Structure 1
Amino acid sequence: MPVSARASLDRRRFLAASAGAALTAAALPGCAASVDSGGGSGGGGKTLTVMTLTDEWDAKTKRSIEKTLNVTLRVITYDVTKLNAMLAGKNPPDVVRGIGATDTPYFAVRGLMTDLDPYLAKSEVLKASDLAPANDVWRFDGRKQGAGPRYGLARDYSQDCLFWYRADLFEEAGLDLPSETEPLSCDEWLDLGKRLTTRRLGKVKVYGLNATGMGVFSQLMWMTASAGGSLFAHDMASVDFSSPEARKALTWYLDYARADIGPNLVNPNPDGWDGPTYQANRMAMSCNGHWFGGTIAGDARLAKVSRLAPAPQLGGHRVSPCFGGTGFWIPKDAKNKDAAWKLFEWYFAGRPAKDRVDYGWGMPSLNSLRTELPVDTPLQKQAYAVQEKELPYFSVLPVSPYAQTDALNAVLSKVLPGAIKSGTSAGKIADALNSRMNQQLARGKELVG
């Protein structure tokens, strides 16, 4: 499989695997054991154990890592249940793949992550001053995400509420193309989605809009922030969907889902994610960040008609967050931290980092590499220009350390489908969500102590 193809699957498969493990991080019930992909065969005296995707590196790359770092590389397939068991037994992997935006507070507040600041201070190739602001999703000051020590680094990132659209479908519908500099309001976005949706025999033929490509809870956090509020209380120990700002965001999602113009919790996308649907001319707008351009670029026909647009806004506070920031972290009880850091330097600042930029998948983790993003085609030039103007509006949207976002998404998946179908009011839905999520958060806080 070519590297670019692996990259397109990489992000989605990992997010899907994490979502499938929804409640297992809080408790450790029986779950399928992970598969050990085997050790290396040419390394040095130390074994470097990395928990990541099965195909993170091919055999040739593994041998190169072993030779470069003078280690024997052992790769364990990521499995959250096995990870928690290893962490509890104080025998964790040396390096763990994770999603910075959602994992950092949960693991950091439990004292399970290594502070990387001392390593950054000594490194000659990785400098804190060169880290893109999106790396701040890997910071946690003991109470809130986005400040304090750095516990991991992002391999790349996107501001995930920018959206891609099909200019040809806009033109067929007689609609003006979105601005490349001024964000749509979420109401304008929803209206466009309704106009772009086409149906046949009562079923959707072409989705007008997928507004929740990175998960419903994250989208509701973003919309609430744009309206000037926060889903989480100041101490991150509770949510409040009843606030005016959160109610506005929840009402927007209910309108979107009930209009049935795109994948939602009642009618999920049978393709599993937007890539195949968008490529098959069955989606007019897809809410995914810069990284999604890698899915589009390989198809000349699709690239010709695709454009990137700024993140829409629900209110007057322009916010354009990152919901991923996927990368690596080092457990506090890791046995080979120095070797793990050498892997970090190679992976985040060496040839792999430069290769990722060349492929055009997402924004580079280092500011110094941003100018290396490909701008050879009209698609790449347009996307780069939009992304550059969007950068000032990035900010970390902190998540609670007391429950994983997957678990909160699981609550949404239980409550919303029936409520959407029955026409239940936003107020009653907010009460149900507050009750269920706050019970979960309270249990998590009690366990942390």
Structure 2
Amino acid sequence: MSDSARGSLDRRRFLTASAGAALTAAVLPGCATSVDSGSGAGGSGKTLTVMTLVNEWDAKTKKTIEKLLDVKLRIVTYDVTKLNAMLASKNPPDVVRSIGATDTPYFAARGLMTDLDPYLAKSDALKASDLAPANDVWRFDGKKQGTGPRYGLAKDYSQDSMFWYRTDQFEAAGLQLPSATKPLSMDEWLDLGKQLTKRRLGKVKVYGLSATSLGLFSQLMSWTASAGGSLFADDMASVDFSSPEALKALQWYIDYTKADIGPSVLNPNPDGWDGPTYQASRMAMSCNGFWFGGVIGGDAKLSAVSRFAPAPQLGSHRVSPCFSGTGFWIPKEAKNKDAAWKLFEWYFAGQPAKDRAASGWGLPSLNSLRSLVPQDNAFHKQAYQVQEQDTPYFSVLPVSPYAQVDALSGILSKVLPDAIKSGTKAGKIADTLNSRMNDQLAQGKELLG
């Protein structure tokens, strides 16, 4: 499995690990628990400490990095409690793996991230002008995400509201295949999902549609945006699920859940994620971005019956966002920033970046590497052409600096199941979500000052 594959598949584990308000401890004196950061970590000038996945690099690659950077590489497995403690004690890792789309405002607003613009200005390997627009999820101007200084870089990315489908299941159901250029409406998408779902003895045998593979909160943001609205207020200090656009998005998800045609807060996928289910012909449509083609492309039979489609839209304001943009950032108090930047140049512009681009597991972070994306067969060509059609509709959907998206997602998980089961009206559910999420955001704003 490629690095990009691990990054995408480990995303939900990363999100689960960082759920809740634990990160508040990173900026509150005395809140950090003690942690053994290991001998030689930080300050020695000889050890580069990287907090990332335990399998980020194999032994051979680690040696390559150590020789290239003239350092001893120390890998610290990502753990939110340990990260909090290291940040609070001003002895952080030199490099941290994170999710740009959801984490940047939170960390940047607390002054925990290094501004990378001065490094980009001097670098021969990495230039701001070569960065794909999706890297803007790593920007924060002090109030809103998407503009201002760059605080991290994406290793690769996808536009995560796009979806994959199986032509064999469409043909068996006598349904027309989705257009490669014109996005479906959300209602059309839901209707197709209902027609493609297969049941046995009252239980779902084949999911017709998986609509929220990379997170419900992010998808609600996207659907609300396509309807012409925003979940967050302009000052990012509150949400409003009661607005016409957000209420429409919430109602769509309630209808999807009640239809029982795919994984939801009421009936999670037993497989844990879409990959195995789609591969086993037990899912007709999977809402995942370009990276999911890496799951499909290695199987000739599966790729022969799989196609990519534009992001469905709830309204007339077409959007196709990125929900992840996983990459690295350098803590402001890091002791070995120069070595950290050299790692960035190698990882984001060197051979690893070229290998990721050629693997098909996501789109390259640098525009200059786009030509390496596979187009060697009909499957890859179709997916790439559809991706090119959706590329102009990318935009950053800003998240609030006052609470982690994972904490807000946790509120969805607590509120929605019982509310949907009991038949609670969407308007009342919206009121409950507003109350609980805005309390969370208010607490975060007060702590941030």
The two structures have a TM-score, normalised by structure 1, of: 0.96
Contact 1:19–1:406 (CA<8 Å) still a contact in 2? yes
Please name the residue that 2:316 is paired with: 316
- CA-to-partner distance for each residue in 1:283-326, whole Å, 9 max, x for gaps? 00000000000000111110000000000000000000000000
- Structure 1 residues 57 and 141, CA gap change in structure 2 (3 angstroms): same
User: Which residue of 1 is the match for residue 283 of structure 2?
Assistant: 283
What is the deviation of 1:36? Answer: 8.3
- Give the deviation of 1:20 after TM superposition: 3.6
> 3-state DSSP class of the match of 2:361?
coil
Is 1:39–1:72's contact at 8 Å kept on the other side of the alignment? Answer: no
**2:367 match:** 367
| Match in the other structure for 1:217 | 217
Amino acid paired to 1:168: D
Alpha-carbon distance, 1:12 to partner: 1.9
Q: Would the alpha carbon gap of residues 34 and 211 (structure 1) be closer, same or farther in structure 2, given more than 3 Å must change?
A: farther
Task: Report the AA paired with residue 231 of structure 2.
Answer: L
Instruction: After TM superposition, give the deviation of residue 81 of structure 1 in Å.
Output: 1.2
- Using a 3 Å threshold, how does the CA distance of structure 1 residues 35 and 75 change in structure 2: closer, same or farther? farther
Matched position secondary structure for 2:165? strand
CA 35–302 in structure 1, closer or farther in 2 if over 3 Å, else same:
farther
8 Å contact from structure 2 (residues 4, 156) kept in 1: no
**Greater displacement, 117-126 / 78-87:** 78-87
Residue type matched to 2:293 in 1? G
Q: How does 1:327-406 map to 2 (within 5 A)?
A: 327-406=327-406
1:25 paired residue among 5, 22, 25: 22
Superposed, which structure 2 residues align to 1:82-93 within 5 Å? 82-93=82-93
The within-5 A match list for 1:27-176 is 27-28=24-25, 46-176=46-176
The Cα shift of 1:11 comes to 1.8
- How far residue 45 of structure 1 moved from its aligned partner, in angstroms, is 5.8
The 2-side partners of 1:326 and 1:71 are apart by 24
Alignment partners' CA distance in 2, 1:372 and 1:37: 39
Task: Give the partner amino acid of 1:123.
Answer: S
Structure 1: runs of 5+ lacking an equivalent? none
The root-mean-square deviation of aligned C-alpha atoms, in Å, is 1.9
Query: 2-side partners of 1:113 and 1:285: how far apart?
Result: 38
Contact 2:32 2:89 in 1 (8 A): no
Residues 1:436 and 2:436 are matched in the alignment: yes
Counterpart for residue 293 of structure 1: 293
SS at match of 1:22: coil
Aligned counterparts of 2:46 and 2:40: Cα–Cα separation in 1: 11
Q: Deviations over 1:134-159 (max 9, x none)?
A: 00000000000000000000000000
User: Partner letter of residue 14 of structure 1?
Assistant: R
Aligned-partner Cα distance in 1 for 2:118–2:50: 21
The AA in structure 1 aligned to 2:378 is P
Native 8 Å contact 1:45 1:70 kept in 2: no
2:232 maps to amino acid: F
Shift of 1:35: 10
8 Å contact 1:117–1:149 — kept in the other structure? yes
* CA pair 402-345 structure 1, distance change in 2 beyond 3 A: same
Q: Does 1:9 align with 2:31?
A: no
Cα gap change, 1:45 to 1:442, in 2 (>3 Å): closer
2:250 is the alignment partner of 1:250 = yes
Task: Give 2:7's aligned amino acid.
Answer: D
CA distance in 2, matches of 1:31, 1:426: 40
Distance 1:35 1:85 in 2: 10
Q: Is the 8 A contact 2:271 2:277 kept in 1?
A: yes
Is residue 155–residue 348 contact of structure 1 (8 Å, CA) maintained in 2? yes
Alignment of 1:399-414 (within 5 A): 399-414=399-414
The change in CA–CA distance for 1:34 and 1:51 in structure 2 (over 3 A counts) is farther
Cα contact 1:38–1:74 (8 A) shared by 2: no
Return the alpha-carbon distance in structure 1 between the equivalents of residues 36 and 283 of structure 2. 36
Report the AA paired with residue 405 of structure 1: V
2:259 is aligned to 259
Take 2:5 and 2:146, find their aligned partners in 1: how far apart are those partners? Answer: 27
Offset from partner CA, 1:152-189 (integer Å, 9 cap, x none): 00000000001000000000000000000000000000
Q: Which amino acid aligns with 1:423?
A: G
The DSSP-based 3-state class of the residue aligned with 1:23 is coil
Counterparts of 1:206 and 1:31, CA distance in 2: 47
C-alpha separation in 1, matches of 2:256 and 2:141? 36
Q: CA deviation at 1:19?
A: 2.0
CA displacement at 1:17 relative to structure 2: 2.7
Residue 408 of structure 1, CA deviation: 0.4
Q: Alignment partner of 1:220: what SS?
A: helix
Query: Distance in 2 between the 1:357 and 1:163 partners?
Result: 20
What is residue 228 of structure 1 aligned with on the other side? 228
> Structure 2: how far apart are the matches of 1:301 and 1:152?
38
Deviations 1:341-387 (A, max 9, x none): 00000000000000001111100000011111111111100000000
How much has 1:38 moved relative to structure 2? 9.9
Q: CA deviation at 1:420?
A: 1.0
CA distance, structure 2, for counterparts of residue 282 and residue 437 of structure 1: 35
Q: Give deviations 1:35-66, integer Å, cap 9, x for gaps.
A: 989999xxx96110000000000010000000
Q: Deviations over 1:69-122 (max 9, x none)?
A: 111100000011111111111110000000000000000000000000000000
TM-score (norm 2): 0.96
Please tell me whether the aligned partners of residues 34 and 77 of structure 1 are also in contact (alpha carbons under 8 angstroms): no
Amino acid at match of 2:170: F
Q: Secondary structure in 1 aligned to 2:204?
A: strand
Q: Is the 8 A contact 2:115 2:151 kept in 1?
A: yes
Q: What is the identity, as a one-letter code, of the residue corresponding to 2:230? A: S
When the two structures are aligned, how many residues end up with a matched partner? Answer: 443
